[in-house]
Every structure is written in structure tokens, then in C-alpha cells.
Structure 1
Amino acid sequence: MFDWIEEFKPTNKDLKQIHHRRFNLKKVSFESPATMTELARLLSAGSVLLADNMMNIYSAKDETARSLIMNDIAPHFEDVKIVYVEDEIDVVNMQYLKKDSKKMFNSTNIGIIQVIHDLIRTNDMCIWTDGKKRELTRYSVRLNALNKYDIDNTNDIQDFFTKGYFDLGEEFGFIPTGWILVDDLKESKTLRFFATFVPCITLVVDESNKQVVMLQLSGDSGMNRQMKE
């Protein structure tokens, strides 16, 4: 196997318990924003490049992450619902990107947009809908083996993932399209960018065709262990 990944096998301790709790929804609306941040561009990408009706669901337990969602991301969507679990804000659901926001998304070809187009290489969504049973293998990425890719004005992205997920012991998953596990994948701008601040990066691979079906980001204390050397 390639020298920049190592097979990772989760233990029983890594499997999360599912608890049924009381929840309710609150719909909110916003005035259309005049600008789009790099964070908003990254987290709304699927609604532009894949499907207009895509549901975007992001954790809002942390105050910093919640503020970023409500100020930078949610105002770009027509349909926004706050999900309360046991009367505490849990996640925010967002759907249908506004027309002006789509224009803002496409208004640049530099910055995080290059990561987005690397993450979403094709609009073929068969990876999302294929009902066949897959034999999946998880590979932990050796961060030190990657040539880091820094992008200006992305502190909000780092804050969102760190505060909203990693510090809470939770992981975040992207579903890339057009990704095949070959040695050249280590040159991916997506992997190289996330390697600048994400403690643990795991690739979930379909062994039948080497298709990467999930890109998981987590902290040191999350379910994915990370090789440091």
C-alpha cells in the first residue's frame, strides 16, 4: 500500500451509542447577505454543484460554530430550521441556496473554491445512491507525508471544524465525488488543505473499485487514530 496512508480498523469503543431523545424544529429566516465567506462557500458547495435540494446539516452545539452558522452560512439559504434536542440547540438544517448566493459562489476561481472543485470532481452522485453492499476499508492519512496547502482567509473554516466538531469529540464527513485511491491522491488540494489543521483524516474506501466513499475529519480524541510519523 502507499506510504502516505495506513489501514485503520475501528474498535468496539469507536462505535457510538444511539439514544432516542425529544426534539423539535424552529424555522428561521434571514435577509440575503451581500458577501460570501470561504466557510459559507465550502459548506454550500453541494447545493450548487450537486443538487439544489440537498439538505445541509451542521452541528450547532458549540457557541462559536453556532455563531458562524447563523451569521455566515444560514443567511444564504431559503429554508433554515434549528433543531432542538431536549430544549438545547443541536443542529441547523439548511436547504435551497438563494439565487444571489449561487452567483457569489461562482464569483471567484481562487481560494477555497479550488479545494471545492477537487473535493467534488464530478456531479455523478451514484456514490450517494448506490444500494449495493460495500466492503469498506478505512485508511488513516499520514499528515506529515502531505505537502500542506495553505489558503488565506480560512480561519473561520478552522474554527468551525475545531470548535464545532473536534473539541466535542465528534467527526465531520464529506462525500467526495470522482475520488479513486491511487498514489496521486496524496496531491489532492482537499487533503493538503485539511492537513494544515485537522488532527485526523481518514479515507473510507470501497475495496471492489477503490472508490473513496467518505472523507472523515476528526480530532485526536475522536474515533479515528492518526499516525503522527
Structure 2
Amino acid sequence: LLSFDPQFAKDPHYSLLKELLTQIFGVPNHHPKSQPFFDHIYTFMILDNRIWFRNYQILSEDGALAEIGPRFVLNPVKIFSGSFGGGTLWENPKYISPAKLRQAMSKKAANKYEKRVEKKVVYEATKPETAYPDIEGPDFFKGDPIEKAQDVIIKEEIKEEESIEGSEDEAPSKPVFNMKISKGRPDKTIRRKQLKAKSKAISDQIKKRKQFKKKPVKK
């Protein structure tokens, strides 16, 4: 059995293709190898301006079908008046040749390259001359982090001492007869002792870390 989409009867070029497919796939009348029953159905459907072929097997009399293949898709390009030549009776306006597809893909790739170059130029034009001013260059992240932390702590302590000295110089002097003990910040000697203790603790951590690295691993 041959089953055709209803659209084959609407357009003249599809009607011509229907007749062609009927002559190719149809069983001739009174053929010696023909059987008195039907167990297969060939379907021809039209979708996306293409002809879709499917082969089904009839499982039972109630119309149960199972696709057994093969399957293929036909994309008609032209219909000529002769076998392989002659005048053009019909031409598919939506057909795109493989060469045009490759050309479109190459143009698309070229546009991607141009966009990439434009982005690079814009990035170079808008790139700041200097990075973050607080970071002391890329060397800040090199070396032992504990030593870097020690240096940062020392610098912060020095800044705090300088700020304390400036505030003490600007503050007005208190009268001598005031016997109350002011709860202010510790003096310079105490701050220096605290700073030395912190630096010593950090150096001890560095030594322990180096000793731990030097220990051989038992196999």
C-alpha cells in the first residue's frame, strides 16, 4: 500500500511527484510475484518542503503498525521536461545549495573574528593605565604569606604610633593639679614590646613551618 499526504493533491508539482513515486514504488497489476494480501505500507509525507518516506509493517487487521525502515528524506530541486534535461518545469525557491551553505558559514566565522578583534581593540582602549593603587605590584603575592603578614602588621603598628604621636602633640596639656589617672593608650615602650612579641610569634611560626617541610617522608 502507498499512503500520500493530502498536500500532494493541492500543488501541481507535488501531483507530478506523486505519480512518479507511484510508478517507482507501486506493485504492477497482475505481477507474477505479487501477493494476494498487503503487509507493508509506504508513507510519503510533506514537511519543511521535503518529502519524508517511512516504511511500516501491518501487525494486525485492526490497523496496528510498526515502523521497520528504511527511512529517507527527499529534497526536490528541479523538475525537467525530459528524463535528465530539457526545459525547467518547476524549481524549488527554498533550496540552498551546499556551496551557498558553506559560503554563509564562512561569512559567519569571519564576522566572529571581526567582532573578536573589535572587542580586543575596545579593551585596549579602555584599559586603565594603573591597577589598584593599594597593592604593591604583583610581587606582593610572592613569597611566604606569613612573612608578608608580619611585614603588614609592622607597617600598621608604625602608622598607629605615628598617629598617636600626632594626636598627643595636638592635644592640650592638662593641669598639674589634676590627680586623676587618664585611661589612655599605652606609651611607646609598651607598644614596641607588644610589636616585638607579635613579630617573634610570627617568626616562630615560620621556623616551625620550615622544619615541618624539611622532615623526610617515610615510605
Q: Shared topology, TM-score over 0.5?
A: no
Task: Please tell me whether Structure 1 or Structure 2 has the larger radius of gyration of its CA atoms.
Answer: 2
Structure possessing the higher relative contact order (Cα contacts under 8 Å, 6 or more residues apart): 1
Q: Which has the higher strand share?
A: 1
| TM tier relative to shorter chain | under 0.3
| Higher normalized helix content (fraction of residues) | 2
